Amino acid sequence: MSEHDLRDVDHEICAARWPDVAQIPGGPSAAIRGAAAAALFRRAAHRVPVRVELPDGSLLGARTGAVAPRMIIRRPDAFARRVGTDGLIGFGEAYMAGDWTTDDLVGVLTPFAERMGDLVPRPLQRLRPLVLPGQRDDEENTVGNTRSNIARHYDLSNELFSTFLDETMTYSSALFADDPGPSTHFTWNDLAAAQHRKIDRLLDAAGVTEDTRLLEIGTGWGELCLRAAQRGAVVHSITLSSEQRDLAMRRIADAGLAGRVTVELCDYRNVDGCYDAVVSVEMIEAVGRRFWPAYFATIDRVLAPGGRAAIQAITMPHDRLLASEGTRTWVHKYIFPGGQLTSLPGLEQVTREHTSLRIDDVTPLGVHYAETLRLWRERFAAHTDRVLALGFDRTFLRMWELYLAYSEAGFRSGYLDVAQLRLGR
């Protein structure tokens, strides 16, 4: 951990940059909602193996006498008002503000993720669309909005991402040599090889060999392009991130493969050509459910007869996808505007109803993503001085820590999964 410990919660919040973190919801409505949220939180806390510590010394939790992750509520009223007003957005903003903290963020979040479907009584879940913020039209991934949505995350700074990604600059789940588990932990030195293993498996699934005409939807920082070109493929990769494109092109040129790879700033809906294979790694999460038919129709349209596609997609339970549809989350507001996770039933339905493609192989990798995220999170925590030197502030540090831990907890709990899918006609 650097000298700028992420657990140091007392930091100045820039109101101009973080207005909703700096401002605690006020007024009678916020007080009423806060009281309701406090009651619901107490109910939830008694159902999870987490030790919730309040400023007056009282404890909440199903196992207050046992060893359990500690969730320390420093400002209960502010915490309750934020959660009552904005749900999970408020929960995340409360962490960013320091209203609550912990010395084991993943340990606290994982039990809640395991019980995500029933923490709130089902009758009250039906009120979700009425009391929680809905998704904003200006964040929907239309042709006009998508590039700005992408830029808000991926164009933050290549240097920021380099503080926690390995030398391959691969920002998606790795595939380790063995399944990670309680007795199998991997080190930072294992990550680059695990990313190559993931990429190679996708290229194999899509049948990419010498002279394959390959379309990649979502360039990232170019590692898949490089691996495919090294096989002798001719690669056309599309992205909407200027920062990623610039670095990817430099890396491709430095490898002497510019003659085999083109990287274009292009929306997937506007791509042309005919390809023997299509690959896309964790890009569909930036599409939005409304546009899934267009995404898969594009793959169907450009894929040559006998061609194959391989995508890597983050999934969630289909019932939770339906229950949360239309709700704006903390991740939408601060991390991925317009984002939407998928579900296997949802993907099977959209390909069946809108394309000639069928999913003929599914390989889940959820435990591998949890391990990937652990390595990223630990690396990020070790380089907070570098992040601050890039111009980001301490509220951003806590936001990014929560994002990485929140994601890791999702995969550790099994609430989230990620899968490599092979599609053919």
- More confidently predicted of 113 and 252: 252
Residue with tokens 């790795």: 174
The pLDDT value recorded for residue 153 is: 80
Structure tokens of 365?
Answer: 């990798």
Q: Comparing C-alpha atoms, which of 109, 98, 104 is closest to residue 48?
A: 109
The pLDDT value recorded for residue 327 is: 80
The pLDDT value recorded for residue 154 is: 76
Per-residue pLDDT averaged across 252-260, rounded? Answer: 97
CA distance 180 to 350: 32
Per-residue pLDDT averaged across 21-33, rounded? Answer: 95
pLDDT above 90 coverage of the chain, percent: 77
The pLDDT value recorded for residue 252 is: 98
Considering only 47-51, 63-67, 303-307, 375-379, which range has the smallest mean pLDDT? 63-67
Inter-residue contact 377 to 408 (CB < 8 Å)? yes
Inter-residue contact 233 to 210 (CB < 8 Å)? yes
The pLDDT value recorded for residue 361 is: 97
CA dist 156 → 60, 89, 149, 153, 392 (Å): 39, 21, 11, 6, 10
Per-residue pLDDT at 6 exceeds 90: no
Q: Comparing C-alpha atoms, which of 248, 407, 280, 283 is closest to residue 334?
A: 407
Q: φ, ψ for residue 2 (rounded to 5)? A: -75, 175
For residue 423, the surrounding DSSP H or E stretch is strand 417-424
CA distance 22 to 96: 9
Per-residue pLDDT averaged across 282-311, rounded? Answer: 96
**Helix H segments across 307-393?**
318-324, 330-334, 344-354, 366-382, 384-389
Inter-residue contact 303 to 424 (CB < 8 Å)? no
Helices 394-413 and 88-97 meet at what angle, rounded to 10? 130
The amino acid present at 37, given as its one-letter code, is A
Per-residue pLDDT averaged across 84-102, rounded? Answer: 96
Per-residue pLDDT at 3 exceeds 50: no
DSSP state string for 62-117 = TTTTS---EEEES-HHHHHHHHHHHTHHHHHHHHHHTSEEES-HHHHHHHHHHTTT
CA distance 277 to 307: 5
Per-residue pLDDT averaged across 288-301, rounded? Answer: 95
Inter-residue contact 212 to 236 (CB < 8 Å)? no
For residue 189, the 8-state DSSP code is: G
Torsion of CA 396, 339, 344, 271, to 10 degrees: -120
With bands split at pLDDT 50, 70 and 90, how would you rate the model's confidence at 5? low
The pLDDT value recorded for residue 115 is: 81
The pLDDT value recorded for residue 134 is: 62
CA distance 43 to 124: 13
Show the domains of the chain with their CATH numbers. Answer: 19-133 (no CATH), 143-424 (3.40.50.150)
Inter-residue contact 376 to 165 (CB < 8 Å)? yes
CA dist 160 → 164, 177, 258, 281 (Å): 8, 28, 26, 21
Per-residue pLDDT averaged across 35-63, rounded? Answer: 89
Per-residue pLDDT averaged across 258-286, rounded? Answer: 97
Per-residue pLDDT at 132 exceeds 50: yes
Q: Is 126 helix (H, G, I), strand (E, B) or coil?
A: coil
